[in-house]
Chains A and B, each alone.
Chain A
Amino acid sequence: MVQPIRNVIQWVVRFRLALLTGIALTSLLTACFFTTNRNTGSVTMTMPDEVDYNFHIRPILSDNCFMCHGPDANKREANLRLDTEADAYAALKENPKMHALVPGDPLKSAIWLRITTKDTADVMPPVNSNLKLTEHQIALIEKWIKQGAKYKPHWAFIAPQTPKLPEVDDEDWPRNEIDHFTLAKMTEMGLEPNPESDKERLLKRVSLDITGLPPSLDLQKRFLADKSENAYEKVVDELLKSPHYGEKMALQWLDVARYADSHGYQDDGLRTMWPWRDWVIHAFNQNYGYDKFLTWQLAGDLLPKATKEMMLATGFNRNHKITQEGGVIDEEYRIEYVTDRTNTFGKTFLALTYECAKCHDHKYDPILQKDYYSTFAFFNQVPEKGLFGTIDASFADPPNMKISSQDVKDILRFVNKKDTASVMVMVMKDADTLRKTHILSRGNYDQPSEIVSAAMPTFIMPFDKKKYPQNRLGLARWMTDPKNPLTARVFVNRVWQEFFGRGIVKTVGDFGMQGELPSHPELLDWLAVDFRTHNWDMKRLVKQIVTSATYRQSAQITKDKLAKDPENVFLSHAPRLRLPAELVRDLVLTSSGLLNPEIGGPSVKPYQPKGLWEVATSGRGSLARYVQDHGTALYRRGMYVFIKRTVPPPSMLMFDASNRDQCEVKRSRTNTPLQALVMLNDPMVLESARVLAEKLMVEKTSADQKIEKAFRQILCRTPKDKELKVLQKYFADEKTTFSSTPKKAENLLAVGETPHATVADKPATAALMQTLLMLYNLEETIML
């Protein structure tokens, strides 16, 4: 291993040099630091002709200065504030002859003097901050001051306007408006789009993206045979009508809403919030407008003549963890729940790091601690307890709502209730008398100070108390007001991330000062306005995205593109993304024919390695032991696998699923040997390979035909000859091996609870099973 290590080190050194010269700062890729040198075709950092506050300067100031010279008044050093123009231009409080910024004159600007001084006692940022400006950053600031040191408002807080479609050279390429924006950007960066993907791969991608399931062999055949101009659009429409569309869309929402089947914290008892999950799927399938989707979840209970469905939707705000630990202090945890709601609201709907203002004014964004508690006040009215009872006191702490069989017959038809027993869900409610909300000093539950009333920060959009009621319904109205600069952008950006693996604003949970700038600002605005003005129509948005030429590109990555745009920020090829954890399971079960496509209902407990719950439990409650299900419940989709918060399903976590501890807006996508072990050894995968092998063996076809059919079911495309040759030879060799060791064939085939088909040739079946297992383990299989 000596040689590789040396290589790494050499490479690290090279990489570091690259960093020092500023080539690889991913966080800056989206900004205009990069222009393309058309002669060499390489992306380099240059000094812009005109230095822009939002794109060039604010990221530097925010990251390096605002912590001490920003919005937080309590921690402001030297009484100097640099995040607003007026303060930065004013005479210094400690030295009225000097000014932090003198437009046009760096040598008179204290900022420039302090960032360039060689005196380590004086230099900014201070040595002990561990922050240091680069030469390039200093040069940018100098030029910016020379050019007049102009401030601009933060882009995200200005309501989007519909921008003009950029003109493009190749007018044939765009299929819709999206493509104008992406192509213009590609051209600017010296990139060209990839050709359209072949039909098979495109179908796999769009089918998984819209329904979360691979296309059936039947659909593959139909689509390949359909030579009409709009064959693709027809398939898209068909997929959008599938009830599995709602499931796929719900998946990311469950992460955002931190949905789980247990209460969390140490005893971690059972909860029954699954009817809320059924509602989310239903809402997507019925294509509720995002305004309605949002309003019902935030304030369904406050709507005039609130129905049980509207009430159920409010479960969103009760999905947070709830303690059942005997001996906790009630108010400490009640405050914790309201905090969770407030933070989740900020991240989900506003993409702001609200939680940073809980204990003090925000260090970077203009969210004051007072603003935090003003928002908190909306969620602080629930008649609830921090500790309702210890383990299994309740599967749904009050306020809650009973769903009876009659309800399911009448209005809640989408709730997949399995028996006649009623089920309780937690919902939102406001107490009759208004609970006073205090600012909590340093965020401590037992240190209440000034009283605040429900309101939202003015810098986003004033909360007009005449226009909106001062409760969650007012909050929802404020959110869906056409002038709100964030609501549509934030949602559209997250949907975009679902399809391209990366948001237009990469930091999908942070549109504030420390967030990244949009890679395609005009596209984001265009989409946001278009979405809002078309009734917040989610299906329409999805259709726009998947029918764009940008989406329909092939996923090939040329060396040139890899070098110029390794993260594919500029979308000159389709992304290759590993499927999310739940869809890995779905793909395996679907392609083998094992999937139970039932929608909704209580979560299920499929195979799981023994002892995981038992070794970690306090021993109390109904979830102390894992009681595995049997029959068709074993083959439900990944999203229905029971999530016990303290011990989430292990294979899901290995594939980067959320542990549902808190609101999450983005999952990582790793590639690890533990994932390889799951795909090779998980009984779910093995059983799928076994069952499909047995099915194929019963069919009266040749071995080659069986392999080819399985390939098409699993990989969703026709194999190439050279691939078939490898597979055929592998199958033949395995068959020979198993024929001489029939006991091994028996043992291999024994996996899983699905009854066996009667197969004559067990060694051949085992060999086919091995071949299919290999197919499941191909890198391409679980990639979009």
Chain B
Amino acid sequence: MNEFIENRLNVNRRHFLGKAAAGIGSLALGSLLVPDLFRGGDEESDALPLGISHFAPKAKRVIYLFQNGAPSQYESFEYKPMLNKLAGQDLPDSIRKGQRLTGMTANQAKFPLVGSHFQFKQYGQSGMWISELFPNIANIVDDICMIKTMNTEAINHDPALTFLQTGAQQGNRPSMGAWVSYGLGSDNKNLPAFSVLLSRGKGNGQGVYSKLWTNGFLDSTHQGVVFSSGEEPILYLNNPEGTDRTSRRKMLDNLAELNNMAYDDFGDPEIKAKVQQYEMAYRMQTAVPELTDLSKEPDHIIKMYGPECLVPGTFAANCLLARKLSEAGVRFVQLYHQGWDQHGNMVGEMPLQARDTDRASAALITDLKQRGLLDETLVIWGGEFGRTNYSQGTATKDNYGRDHHPRAYCTWMAGGGVKPGTVYGETDEFGYNVVRDPVNIHDFHATVMHLMGLNHEKLTYKHLGRRYRLTDVAGKVLPGLMA
């Protein structure tokens, strides 16, 4: 096994510098911003020496529009008229097949099936069924691949989210974005390889946790960096009151002079690296606000994403920001939109959540496409599990709720080597069980990594005696999802 791959980014920096002799003192080895050892034109084969066996990547970057709380598939992308027909009848045991239930519905005497309150229609050449709540996504169906058969083992939010983001329900494992950062490094020296954007919807929310974008046992340079489109796009980025850029520059010059004196005394390469970190911080102070300033976006872009995109912290603003970060070379942009946990009041909350996300999600795809970036950008849209086909509590004529359902739910992907205009997998008439082409979380991870040009079985990191990977000991690449 290739120790180089395992060690290359985590090996002690002194070791690097000690071994590497002259000529590299000034390079951004200590960059947050993961030293970009592995990119690069003609020398790519050299830059990925003993590598991870490399098929050519289909996608260079990922934008993951995570819908946190678990959007109901039945009110969005899974058209199951049978449920409307059988409304009120009990979920047959022959369908449930002993599926364990959460504590919220386990004690229900009945599991009354309930159909979508919202109308479905077919769209595009692909004829995909989409609910009336998502008119904009309906317009881009021919660009997306709709997975109907995502499935997970967890039935509660925390373990399911953690599983989907890190490959394990428990434990402090690195997040997908951290793995990609570790495997591929950054494409922009002034930006982190892994960025995170948070927003909240109006529906019942479940919160997010920083362990979802953790570096786990990888070096903390692979940790997701939270961005916002607000006044301070990255924590601690802004100079204090009374300090301008000239003044900062002057301080840094003096600082470097003093630090270099210490280097002469100690000979520690860490000191040189530190000077570089300060320079990079200084560059970020200009590069990042320029990038995150959405106010200069042209009108047609604002129109496309909707006026909300100018309000910092909204999903729309984050979609636009995600496009800009991605365009600037950020490998993995992870959005979380909260509020999708409709145990009750489906009819009231689902339209609000859909309104928050529909237009901007579709705009992102269109925007990337118009810029010629969709082919190399993988966009993912989905939550941590699905929802039950029966009502939590009593379904009334006007309203109902749905509990968590792990066996099958919808997630869509677009761009980056994904087969457009297709529906992948099929569930039974109840939407409860997979009848064809299941996609479990490990398969999903393996496929995303594959699209990024990474072999999920070879991208490993040795920690406490064991070689860990995102897909643990499972996962298979699913060719049916790929163009």
Partner-B contacts on A (CB < 8 A): 1, 4-9, 11-16, 18-19, 23-27, 63-64, 130-132, 265-268, 323, 325-330, 336, 339, 353, 356, 363-364, 387, 446, 507, 509-510, 512-515, 555-559, 562-563, 566-568, 576, 578, 609, 615-619, 645-648, 650-651, 653-654, 656, 659, 661-662, 668, 670-678, 680-683, 686, 720, 722-723, 726-727, 730, 733-734, 737, 744-751, 766, 770, 773-774, 777-780, 783
- Determine which residue in A672, A749, A777, A783 has the highest number of CB atoms from chain B within 10 A of its CB, and name it: A672
B334 in the interface, Cβ–Cβ < 8 Å? Answer: no
- Determine which residue in A12, A645, A720 has the highest number of CB atoms from chain B within 10 A of its CB, and name it: A12
B82 in the interface, Cβ–Cβ < 8 Å? Answer: no
B278 in the interface, Cβ–Cβ < 8 Å? Answer: yes
Q: Which residues of B contact A737 (CB under 8 A)?
A: 247
B43 touches A9 (CB 8 A): yes
Query: Which B5-48 residues have C-beta < 8 A from chain A?
Result: 7, 10-20, 23-24, 26-28, 30-33, 35-37, 39-40, 43, 46-47
A646 touches B210 (CB 8 A): yes
A-B contact count (CB 8 A): 313
Interface size class of B (residues with CB under 8 A): 35 or more
A26 touches B240 (CB 8 A): no
B209 touches A15 (CB 8 A): no
B198 in the interface, Cβ–Cβ < 8 Å? Answer: yes
Q: Which residues of B contact A509 (CB under 8 A)?
A: 464
Given contacts A24-B11, A779-B270, 14 further A-B contacts (CB under 8 A): A4-B27, A11-B20, A26-B7, A327-B403, A327-B404, A646-B207, A648-B210, A674-B236, A676-B274, A726-B258, A748-B241, A750-B242, A770-B243, A774-B258
B156 touches A744 (CB 8 A): no
6 smallest CB-CB distances across A and B, nearest first, come from A514-B465, A748-B242, A566-B18, A747-B242, A646-B209, A618-B207
B3 touches A325 (CB 8 A): no
A328 touches B240 (CB 8 A): no
Q: In whole angstroms, how far apart are the Cα atoms of A617 and B205 in the complex?
A: 8
- Determine which residue in B24, B214, B403 has the highest number of CB atoms from chain A within 10 A of its CB, and name it: B24
B157 touches A325 (CB 8 A): yes
Q: Which residue of A lies closest to B4 (CB)?
A: A19
Query: Which B87-114 residues have C-beta < 8 A from chain A?
Result: 100, 102-106
Q: Which residues of B contact A507 (CB under 8 A)?
A: 464-465
B464 touches A616 (CB 8 A): no
Q: Could you say which of B70-78, B128-136, B217-225, B432-440 contacts chain A?
A: B217-225
A8 touches B243 (CB 8 A): no
Q: In whole angstroms, how far apart are the Cα atoms of A353 and B11 in the complex?
A: 22
B278 touches A777 (CB 8 A): yes
Q: In whole angstroms, how far apart are the Cα atoms of A9 and B43 in the complex?
A: 8
B271 in the interface, Cβ–Cβ < 8 Å? Answer: yes
Q: Which residues of A contact B37 (CB under 8 A)?
A: 8-9, 12
Q: Which residue of A lies closest to B43 (CB)?
A: A9
Contacting residue for A513 out of B102, B404, B465, CB 8 A: B465
- With A130-B1, A566-B19 given, is the CB distance from A677 to B236 under 8 Å? yes
Q: In whole angstroms, how far apart are the Cα atoms of A385 and B10 in the complex?
A: 40
B397 in the interface, Cβ–Cβ < 8 Å? Answer: no
B284 touches A673 (CB 8 A): yes
Q: Could you say which of B248-256, B289-297, B298-306, B367-375 contacts chain A?
A: B248-256
Instruction: Tell me the smallest distance from the CB of A478 to a CB of chain B, in Å.
Output: 23
User: Can you list 28 A-B contacts (CB < 8 A)?
Assistant: A8-B36, A11-B23, A12-B47, A265-B158, A266-B207, A268-B209, A328-B103, A329-B103, A609-B232, A619-B205, A646-B209, A661-B211, A672-B31, A673-B278, A673-B281, A674-B235, A681-B236, A720-B261, A730-B250, A730-B251, A737-B247, A745-B242, A747-B241, A748-B243, A766-B242, A777-B255, A778-B255, A779-B271
A353 touches B465 (CB 8 A): yes
Instruction: Tell me the smallest distance from the CB of A645 to a CB of chain B, in Å.
Output: 7
- Determine which residue in A25, A64, A670 has the highest number of CB atoms from chain B within 10 A of its CB, and name it: A670
Contacting residue for A678 out of B104, B158, B236, B265, CB 8 A: B236
Instruction: Tell me the smallest distance from the CB of B8 to a CB of chain A, in Å.
Output: 8
Q: Which residue of B lies closest to A514 (CB)?
A: B465
Q: Which residues of B contact A747 (CB under 8 A)?
A: 241-242
B458 in the interface, Cβ–Cβ < 8 Å? Answer: yes
B15 touches A647 (CB 8 A): no
Q: In whole angstroms, how far apart are the Cα atoms of A654 and B200 in the complex?
A: 25
B257 in the interface, Cβ–Cβ < 8 Å? Answer: yes
B208 in the interface, Cβ–Cβ < 8 Å? Answer: yes
Q: Which residues of B contact A132 (CB under 8 A)?
A: 1
Q: Which residues of A contact B14 (CB under 8 A)?
A: 557, 562, 566-568
Q: How would residues 263 to 297 of chain B score, 1 for a CB under 8 Å from any chain A CB and 0 otherwise? A: 00111111101110110110011000000000000
Q: Which residue of B lies closest to A562 (CB)?
A: B18
B19 touches A18 (CB 8 A): yes
B49 touches A25 (CB 8 A): no
A778 touches B259 (CB 8 A): yes
Instruction: Tell me the smallest distance from the CB of B193 to a CB of chain A, in Å.
Output: 12
B259 touches A618 (CB 8 A): no
A7 touches B23 (CB 8 A): yes
Instruction: Tell me the smallest distance from the CB of B30 to a CB of chain A, in Å.
Output: 5
A723 touches B258 (CB 8 A): yes
B171 touches A662 (CB 8 A): yes
A266 touches B209 (CB 8 A): yes
Q: In whole angstroms, how far apart are the Cα atoms of A356 and B50 in the complex?
A: 29
Instruction: Tell me the smallest distance from the CB of A235 to a CB of chain B, in Å.
Output: 23
A617 touches B247 (CB 8 A): no
Q: Which residues of A contact B155 (CB under 8 A)?
A: 329
Q: Which residue of B lies closest to A328 (CB)?
A: B156
- With A336-B170, A777-B278 given, is the CB distance from A682 to B236 under 8 Å? yes
B393 in the interface, Cβ–Cβ < 8 Å? Answer: no
- With A329-B100, A618-B205, A650-B235 given, is the CB distance from A673 to B32 under 8 Å? yes
Q: In whole angstroms, how far apart are the Cα atoms of A749 and B250 in the complex?
A: 19
B239 in the interface, Cβ–Cβ < 8 Å? Answer: yes
Q: Which residue of B lies closest to A515 (CB)?
A: B465
Q: Which residues of B contact A16 (CB under 8 A)?
A: 4, 49-50
B122 in the interface, Cβ–Cβ < 8 Å? Answer: no
A5 touches B36 (CB 8 A): yes
Q: Which residues of B contact A7 (CB under 8 A)?
A: 23-24, 27
Q: In whole angstroms, how far apart are the Cα atoms of A609 and B235 in the complex?
A: 7
A327 touches B273 (CB 8 A): no
A670 touches B210 (CB 8 A): no
Q: Which residues of B contact A578 (CB under 8 A)?
A: 270
B251 touches A670 (CB 8 A): no
- With A8-B36, A15-B20, A653-B210 given, is the CB distance from A327 to B259 under 8 Å? no
B126 in the interface, Cβ–Cβ < 8 Å? Answer: no
B49 touches A673 (CB 8 A): no
Instruction: Tell me the smallest distance from the CB of A211 to a CB of chain B, in Å.
Output: 24
Q: Which residues of B contact A568 (CB under 8 A)?
A: 14
Contacting residue for B156 out of A327, A766, A770, A774, CB 8 A: A327
B474 in the interface, Cβ–Cβ < 8 Å? Answer: no
Contacting residue for B11 out of A9, A26, A723, CB 8 A: A26
Q: In whole angstroms, how far apart are the Cα atoms of A673 and B4 in the complex?
A: 25
Q: Which residues of B contact A618 (CB under 8 A)?
A: 205-207
B172 in the interface, Cβ–Cβ < 8 Å? Answer: yes
Q: Which residues of A contact B465 (CB under 8 A)?
A: 353, 356, 364, 507, 510, 512-515
B3 touches A672 (CB 8 A): no
Q: Which residues of A contact B102 (CB under 8 A)?
A: 327-329
B23 touches A677 (CB 8 A): no
B482 in the interface, Cβ–Cβ < 8 Å? Answer: no
Q: In whole angstroms, how far apart are the Cα atoms of A313 and B289 in the complex?
A: 49
Q: Which residues of B contact A780 (CB under 8 A)?
A: 259, 262, 271
B237 in the interface, Cβ–Cβ < 8 Å? Answer: yes
Q: In whole angstroms, how far apart are the Cα atoms of A676 and B11 in the complex?
A: 21
Q: Which residue of A lies closest to B172 (CB)?
A: A661
Q: In whole angstroms, how far apart are the Cα atoms of A317 and B366 in the complex?
A: 53
Instruction: Tell me the smallest distance from the CB of B152 to a CB of chain A, in Å.
Output: 14
Q: Which residues of B contact A328 (CB under 8 A)?
A: 102-103, 156
B270 touches A672 (CB 8 A): no
Q: Which residue of B lies closest to A5 (CB)?
A: B40
Contacting residue for B220 out of A11, A563, A656, CB 8 A: A656
Contacting residue for B19 out of A15, A27, A336, CB 8 A: A15
